[in-house]
Amino acid sequence: MENIEQNAQNPIPERKKRIFSGIQPTGVFTLGNYLGAIKNWKALQDEYDCIYSIVNMHAITVRQDPAELRKRTLESYALALACGIDPEKSILFIQSHVPAHAEANWVLSCSTQFGELSRMTQFKDKSAKHADNINAGLFTYPVLMAGDILLYQADVVPVGVDQKQHLELARDVAERFNNLYGKTFTVPEPYIASSRGGGKIMSLSDPTKKMSKSDENPKGCVYILDEPNVIIKKFKSAVTDSDMEVAYREGKDGINNLMTIYGAVTGFSMDSIERDFEGKGYGDFKKSVGEAVAEHLAPIRENYSRYLSEKAYLEDCYRKGAEQAERIAQRTIDKMYKKVGFVAR
Ligand code: TRP
């Protein structure tokens, strides 16, 4: 009897849904990058079958110094490990190690319209910013990204607001290809991160702007690898408002941002933060946020230096990651080539 009941409640375990996400190895990671992306990557590992990539092929759509790109790719890989991406649970690989990405890019390019790529706001922004290098790769960037996702038959893709349009395009291309050639790809859904920690992290010196390494004021941007005392100092000088109340409210951009950050690193709800800081000044609050962030990031900093110094281990991880990724991606490429009518070798 007991068994039957249990079976009714626990049918055969379903296949975990698959997640794909990528991060560019450009520059030092900020607290904003971390809270907006990698921290979620770690959290998703138990519930989903996760595939994560350091997308160095996307990076060369803007001019990169080759030695620097190579170094940053390895650093990004080490940092992902340090942030808790577990290579036993998830696949973590470097995009250029899996040739299927370049191959998918071509085939999918032929199923993507010039017009739809022309509408991409990121292309418009980036071509304005890099007017001296509006290369074809910058234009077809979203096709490469669609390939990343579709090659792994991802069900869900965690993306920030700035990548939503690209994910929409990936869905459109997948549906179009499926309609034309028969079911080939899973059509991916966006993963909307919960408000806590998923939200946009703003600059500490101008909370109406996104936290960015190009912030004019160096105190506006916190880096994952900043020393604890540096982090605490940056938070101490965070711009707030002229009221006195630690409360999440419209118009209180600075405090809202600090509360979001504090909630993300401690797990406290906005209500409980408000209660805890009732009657206390902004000075106390900023000190607490700085300390909490410093404490949260300390082990990541330590792990990062350790991974980066263990070259053989790092190599072993990214080789294995590439093999695992390749096995899945190759199956999709074979299917795509067959569907479009390429002769098998
Ligand atoms: N374009 C993404 C960014 O700049 C990175 C990226 C590349 C990505 N391929 C992806 C994100 C696939 C999600 C899924 O943030």
In terms of domains, do 290 and 223 share one? Answer: yes
237-260 pLDDT, tens per residue?
999 999 989 999 999 999 999 999
121-131 pLDDT, tens per residue?
999 999 999 99
In terms of domains, do 319 and 285 share one? Answer: no
Residue 207 lies in a domain: no
In terms of domains, do 82 and 172 share one? Answer: yes
Mean pLDDT of the chain: 93
Q: Which atom of ligand 1 is nearest to the CA of 160?
A: 15
Q: Quick one: what percent of the chain has pLDDT higher than 70?
A: 94
Contact 196, 13 (CB under 8 A): no
Q: Is the CB of 20 under 6 A from ligand 1?
A: yes
Q: Is the pLDDT of residue 2 over 50?
A: no
Domain that holds residue 242: 218-307
Which residues does residue 49 pair with via DSSP β-bridges, in sequence order? 18
What's the Cα-to-Cα distance from 224 to each of 31, 202, 230, 287, 302, rounded to whole Å? 6, 15, 11, 18, 11
Residue 254 lies in a domain: yes
In terms of domains, do 46 and 105 share one? Answer: yes
28: exposed, middle or buried (Cβ count in 10 Å: 0-12, 13-18, 19+)? middle
Q: Is the CB of 159 under 6 A from ligand 1?
A: yes
Q: Is the CB of 167 under 6 A from ligand 1?
A: no
Residue 296 lies in a domain: yes
Q: Is the CB of 33 under 6 A from ligand 1?
A: no
Range name among 7-21, 88-102, 147-161 with the lowest pLDDT average: 7-21
* Positions marked catalytic: 126, 210, 213
Query: Helix, strand or coil for residue 269?
Result: coil
Q: Is the CB of 157 under 6 A from ligand 1?
A: yes
Residue 302 Cα to ligand 1 midpoint, Å, equals 27
Q: Is the CB of 145 under 6 A from ligand 1?
A: yes
Residue 206 lies in a domain: no
Residue 200 lies in a domain: no
**Domain with 287 in it: what CATH number?**
1.10.240.10
Provide the pLDDT confidence category of residue 15 given band limits of 50, 70 and 90.
confident
In terms of domains, do 83 and 159 share one? Answer: yes
Q: Is the pLDDT of residue 5 over 70?
A: no
Residue 315 lies in a domain: yes
Q: Is the CB of 103 under 6 A from ligand 1?
A: no
81-113 pLDDT, tens per residue?
999 999 999 999 999 999 999 999 999 999 999
Residue 281 Cα to ligand 1 midpoint, Å, equals 40
Tally the domains of the chain.
2
313-337 pLDDT, tens per residue?
999 999 999 999 999 999 999 999 9
Write the residue with the smallest CA distance to atom 3 of ligand 1: 23
Probe residue for ligand 1, chosen from 18, 19, 24 as the CB with the greatest number of ligand atoms within 8 Å: 24
Residue 62 Cα to ligand 1 midpoint, Å, equals 15
Six-digit token string for 316:
């072993």
Residue 170 Cα to ligand 1 midpoint, Å, equals 11
Q: How far apart are CA 144 and CA 170, in angstroms?
A: 9
Q: Is the pLDDT of residue 262 over 80?
A: yes
Q: Is the CB of 149 under 6 A from ligand 1?
A: yes
In terms of domains, do 90 and 128 share one? Answer: yes
Q: How far apart are CA 52 and CA 54, in angstroms?
A: 7
Mean pLDDT value across residues 160-188:
96
Residue 91 lies in a domain: yes
Residue 209 lies in a domain: no
Mean pLDDT value across residues 45-50:
96
Residue 119 backbone phi and psi in degrees, to 5:
-85, -5
Provide the pLDDT confidence category of residue 162 given band limits of 50, 70 and 90.
confident
Probe residue for ligand 1, chosen from 18, 23, 26, 76 as the CB with the greatest number of ligand atoms within 8 Å: 23
**Domain with 123 in it: what CATH number?**
3.40.50.620
| pLDDT number for residue 196 | 42
Q: Which atom of ligand 1 is nearest to the CA of 20?
A: 14
| pLDDT number for residue 7 | 54
The residues, any chain, with a CB within 8 Å of residue 278's CB and separated by 6 or more, are 246
| pLDDT number for residue 303 | 96
Residue 153 Cα to ligand 1 midpoint, Å, equals 15
In terms of domains, do 142 and 10 share one? Answer: yes
Q: Which atom of ligand 1 is nearest to the CA of 141?
A: 1
264-279 pLDDT, tens per residue?
999 999 999 999 999 9
Query: Which regions of 176-249 does DSSP assign to beta strands (E)?
Result: 189-191
Q: Is the CB of 148 under 6 A from ligand 1?
A: yes
